[in-house]
Amino acid sequence: MDTLVRLLQLLVLILTLPLHLMALLGFWEPLCKTYFPYLMAMLTVNCNRKMDSKKQELFSQIKGLAGASGKVALLELGCGTGANFQFYPRGCRITCLDPNPHFEKFLTKSMAKNRHLEYERFVVAFGEDMKQLASGSMDVVVSTLVLCSVQSPKRVLQEVRRVLRPGGMFFFWEHVAEPRGSWAFLWQQVLEPTWKHIGDGCCLTRETWKDLENAQFSELQMERQPPPIKWLPVGPHIMGKAVK
């Protein structure tokens, strides 16, 4: 099976050789950082339509998590275009964190459409190092389709626990690997080296549920879901919450 994977990876590499050459020469990443927000803006419309009821159900739980100020201090990791803003309840103070500064203009548009929220700031940083944010400063942290593309999910989850106040909640929706040994998992392995370039570092074969289980949250609730967009090579999704 490993030999077959390597052969198929080579075939895909040959078919997408210009992309890999651009990446090798350092031309692809700046181009990807520029176009990726536009790609996400298109995909999230379809995604939100398919996931509307599930997201409403998940994020409705934020209402009861207000701090002493009566507001909910909410940090969204890899906030992208602000696709989740419409699902957050009134009274949330939103801090957005993303390593790609090109998302900010999309966030500004999203905030203008969601006047029920308060926009705190946009932090350009990686989730593995959120030193701009104080420990215990957040009531809620949200991550949707983010842990697939970070360098270290373990380190990101450590930072999530650090910035959450005691009793604070981490809400997540992430795509994960298909079952090992399946043909679907084989194709994820085949496509992953090329997909990481197209998807700005997105990994198809991550078993993110294991990172969540090992992150030392006091409580973890998680459910598995089929992918909302069938024609993409991303696998099943996990959705749930974890309590510090």
Digits of tens for pLDDT over the chain (244 positions)?
A: 788 989 999 999 999 999 899 889 988 888 878 877 777 767 777 777 777 888 899 999 998 888 777 899 999 999 888 889 999 999 899 999 999 888 888 888 888 899 999 999 999 999 999 999 999 999 999 999 999 999 999 999 999 999 999 999 999 999 999 999 999 999 999 999 999 998 888 999 999 999 999 999 999 999 999 887 777 888 899 999 999 9
Q: Which two tokens stand for residue 219?
A: 């409580």
Work out whether strand 72-77 and strand 219-225 pair parallel, antiparallel, or are unpaired: unpaired
Chain centroid offset of residue 39 CA: 15
Q: Which pLDDT does position 195 carry in this prediction? A: 93
Work out the burial of residue 73: count CB atoms within 10 Å of its CB; fewer than 13 is exposed, 13-18 middle, 19 or more buried.
buried
Q: Which among 59, 46, 194, 166 has a CA at the least distance from the CA of 114? A: 59
The residue type found at 241 is K
Residue 42's contacts (CB-CB under 8 Å, 6 or more residues apart) are none
Q: Which pLDDT does position 36 carry in this prediction? A: 78
Q: Which pLDDT does position 144 carry in this prediction? A: 93
What is d(CA 58, CA 84) in angstroms, rounded to the nearest whole number? 11
What is d(CA 177, CA 148) in angstroms, rounded to the nearest whole number? 10
What order of strands is seen across the sheet that includes strand 72-77?
Answer: 118-123, 92-97, 72-77, 138-144, 164-175, 237-243, 219-225
Q: Which among 214, 213, 196, 197 has a CA at the least distance from the CA of 205? A: 196
- 27 DSSP 8-state letter: -
What is d(CA 93, CA 138) in angstroms, rounded to the nearest whole number? 10
Place of tokens 């549920």: 209
Q: Which pLDDT does position 64 carry in this prediction? A: 83
Coil vs helix vs strand at 116? coil
Q: Which pLDDT does position 58 carry in this prediction? A: 92
Work out the burial of residue 71: count CB atoms within 10 Å of its CB; fewer than 13 is exposed, 13-18 middle, 19 or more buried.
middle
Q: Which pLDDT does position 137 carry in this prediction? A: 95
What domains can you pick out in the chain, each with its CATH number? 1-61+71-81+91-124+136-243 (3.40.50.150)
Work out whether strand 164-175 and strand 237-243 pair parallel, antiparallel, or are unpaired: antiparallel
Bridge partner residues of 171 (DSSP): 142, 241
